[in-house]
């Protein structure tokens, strides 16, 4: 056993012209979340409790795209999704299409622990939330003035915006992972800006138990009913005996590559170490997609990989290592 470890992310794909103030706000939030996770791990909470606790904090703060501050659909509403997975016995829970649940990741855990299912969505998930007595709020709680403005920009451009917090003046010049004159595409269709801000946390506790959780509001100006990788076990989230993984980025590419599970698979079947497995999957499984991920191993290692300009991320291990970063 290598001791406990934790990693957290706030999304892969960052505007290269992101204002310094915004960068510092992101680093402070990631640091705060790491401190919450560190305290929980030092108190011997199991990894599954830790990842839920940290992601709840990220959902409550409007800085990143999850919970309060989620991206808006084409109809100006919020539809959130999340998943959580406990490495021991590979238990999991996931939810999609949430409009009133204050903390989607906690409902995902209730799906795992209090239902016979692994995944509930839309009206069924909302009804389950009411049955379980979780905290519900009006959809307006999740909507910020900033997001309303960015949805207007997206509609005027007739496109999906990934990072709805990029200043309007930076929309034309922003190009993440591709040249400015080579717009990215998703399933063959062009997109304006690539910089999603899904949130996630992975942890391994002092007993070597891994867990992972991911939560998001999805894409700005997305079709109602669109489901991304974040709630899909094996794509956006995975935890097993060897490791825990949370992904972020172009959801459609992550889904096609079953990115999270593939990290565990190449560790198991190819005998790769954690960072080797992460690097292999980012290089070989994304095709032309852009994404990133964080990971921990049962031995207390942390790792990340991304093929975008940057990824909001933070790490800490029991031996005292701690790091928060954005760029490569």
Rounded Cα distance, 292 and 285, in Å = 12
For residue 60 the two structure tokens come to 């409550």
90-93, Cβ contacts within 8 angstroms, sequence gap of 24 or more: 90/239, 90/240, 92/118, 92/233, 92/237, 93/118, 93/119
CB contact at 8 A, 27 and 10: no
pLDDT of residue 194: 36
Tokens of 176: 């993440």
Examine the residue annotation and report whether 248 is marked as an active-site residue of this protein. Answer: no
* DSSP secondary structure letter of residue 174: -
Instruction: Round to whole Å and give the CA distance between 77 and 317.
Output: 39
Check residue 1 and give its pLDDT: 58
Half-sphere exposure (Cβ direction) of 188: Cα atoms closer than 13 Å: 0
pLDDT tens for residues 65-81? 999 999 999 999 999 99
Catalytic residue from among 99, 198, 216, 308: 198
Q: Is the dihedral of CA 221, 226, 231, 233 positive or negative?
A: negative
Sheet-wide strand order for 322-327: 119-121, 91-98, 80-86, 210-216, 199-204, 5-12, 310-317, 322-327
Q: How far is CA 35 from CA 6, 29, 70, 242, 316, in A?
A: 10, 10, 24, 24, 9
Helices (H), the chain: 20-42, 47-60, 104-114, 122-132, 145-157, 251-257, 259-270, 274-284
Residue 162 pLDDT grade (very low, low, confident, very high; cuts 50, 70, 90): low
pLDDT value at 196 more than 90: no
Provide the pLDDT for residue 294. Answer: 98
The answer to whether residue 199 scores a pLDDT higher than 50 is yes
Predicted TM-score (pTM) of this structure: 0.90
Domain ranges of the chain: 5-69+82-90+198-217+224-325
Question: What digits encode the pLDDT tens for the residues 242-290?
Answer: 999 999 999 999 999 999 999 999 999 999 999 999 999 999 999 989 9
Is 5-69+82-90+198-217+224-325 in CATH node 3.40.50.2300?
no
Please give the average per-residue pLDDT across 152-170, as a whole number.
58
CA distance 45 to 327: 31
1 or 173, greater pLDDT: 1
User: Is the per-residue pLDDT at 169 higher than 50?
Assistant: no
Given a cut of 90, whether residue 151 has pLDDT beyond it is no
The arithmetic mean of pLDDT across residues 197-207, rounded, is: 95
The DSSP-derived string for 130-171 is HHHT--B--GGGG--HHHHHHHHHHHHHTS-BS-TTS-GGGT
Structural contact between residues 199 and 30, judged by C-beta atoms closer than 8 angstroms: no
pLDDT per residue as tens digits for the range 103-138: 999 999 999 999 999 999 999 999 999 999 999 999
Task: Give the model confidence (pLDDT) of 293-326 as tens digits.
Answer: 999 999 999 999 999 889 999 999 999 999 999 9
- Cα(282)–Cα(93) distance, integer angstroms: 25
């Amino acid at each position: 056993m290598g001791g406990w470890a934790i990693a957290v992310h706030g999304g892969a794909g960052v505007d290269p012209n992101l204002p310094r103030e915004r960068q510092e706000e992101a680093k402070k939030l990631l640091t705060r979340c790491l401190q919450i996770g560190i305290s929980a791990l030092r108190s011997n909470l199991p990894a599954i409790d830790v990842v839920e606790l940290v992601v709840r904090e990220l959902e409550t703060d409007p800085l990143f795209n999850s919970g309060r501050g989620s991206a808006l659909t084409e109809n100006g509403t919020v539809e959130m999704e999340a998943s959580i997975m406990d490495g021991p016995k590979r238990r999991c829970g996931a939810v999609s299409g949430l409009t009133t649940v204050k903390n989607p990741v906690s409902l995902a855990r209730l799906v795992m622990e209090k239902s016979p299912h692994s995944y509930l969505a839309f009206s069924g998930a909302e009804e389950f939330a009411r049955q379980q007595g979780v905290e519900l709020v009006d959809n307006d709680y999740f909507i910020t003035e900033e997001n309303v403005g960015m949805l207007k920009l997206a509609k005027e451009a007739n496109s999906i915006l990934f990072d709805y917090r990029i200043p309007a003046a930076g929309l034309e010049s922003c190009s993440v992972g591709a040249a400015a004159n080579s717009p990215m595409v998703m399933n063959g269709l062009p997109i304006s800006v690539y910089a999603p801000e899904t949130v996630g946390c992975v942890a391994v506790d002092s007993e070597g138990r891994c867990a992972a959780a991911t939560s998001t509001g999805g894409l700005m100006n997305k079709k109602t009913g669109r489901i991304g990788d974040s709630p899909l076990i094996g794509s956006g989230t995975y935890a097993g005996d060897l490791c825990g993984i949370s992904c972020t980025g172009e959801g459609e590419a992550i889904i096609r590559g079953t990115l999270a599970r593939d990290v565990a698979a190449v560790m198991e079947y190819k005998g790769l170490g954690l960072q080797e497995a992460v690097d292999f999957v980012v290089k070989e499984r994304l095709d032309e997609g852009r994404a990133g991920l964080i990971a921990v191993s049962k031995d207390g290692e942390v790792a990340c990989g991304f093929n975008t300009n940057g990824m909001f991320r933070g790490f800490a291990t029991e031996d005292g290592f701690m790091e928060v970063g954005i760029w490569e």
